[in-house]
Structure 1
């Protein structure tokens, strides 16, 4: 059985990291590309945010005895297969897991234009992930 306190705690972290990233918006792309300190802050916050999504998915998958664990993307996939999150959100968060891997492991050079674009265009997927998990949890109790 899922531990409601763990889910709520992870949702709180996801919300905090998402809000932190929203506050880092506002500079032009050229300012962002030239500011290595801001780049590092954004990248690290993205890694923490995405890892929190993975951790939450792992907890739910294990607690609910969903499909066996595997990769981090499989953890997210198991939530989609169980209809805990929508397919659209599943696909976007799985894509974010790949993005996290690039940031964390530095596969090639990080494309700062891509990070800037994700910062400004894709944070709503994390809001949607939170909402869908919270709705699922609320329906259970």
Structure 2
């Protein structure tokens, strides 16, 4: 149940970020910048929550997001490249949440323009399908 709700949240924010990217962002407008930051924050947090929930349901050690990601990779559920992308996502989310005043707008622009959020969404969708195939999604 929670797996599916979190996937819906990831996809909802993926769609929103795609819409923003296609429309274009006035990076000098603080309201538009904050809209992008908030969408990226919720998107990232939904992915992190999905990973932590997966570790709990599957019985894999993962007290923190980074430990969970490492454990999922050790269990063969994530490739090395996927593990690194998710580790970067955790760091990125931490910057958005804890260092609002220090955010580099150019880096945020790159994340949006290069669609980095889409890649981590693909990783989670792939993991979701694998969990479903193994009968490991929560009821």
Scaled by the length of structure 1, the TM-score of the pair is 0.84
* Superposed CA RMSD: 1.8
Point out the more displaced range, 40-49 or 116-125.
Answer: 116-125
Offset, 1:107: 6.3
Distance in 1 between residues matched to 2:59 and 2:105, nearest whole Å: 39
- Of 25, 31, 36, 1:37 maps to 31
Equivalent residue, structure 2, for 1:25: 21
Task: After TM superposition, give the deviation of residue 27 of structure 1 in Å.
Answer: 5.6
Q: Structure 2: how far apart are the matches of 1:92 and 1:63?
A: 22
- When normalised by structure 2's length, the TM-score is 0.85
| Long gaps (5+) in structure 1 | none
Q: Secondary structure at the match of 1:24?
A: helix
Q: Is the 8 A contact 1:54 1:75 kept in 2?
A: no
Aligned length: 134
Paired position in structure 2 for 1:13? 9
Rounded to whole Å, the distance in 1 between the matches of 2:119 and 2:72 is 15
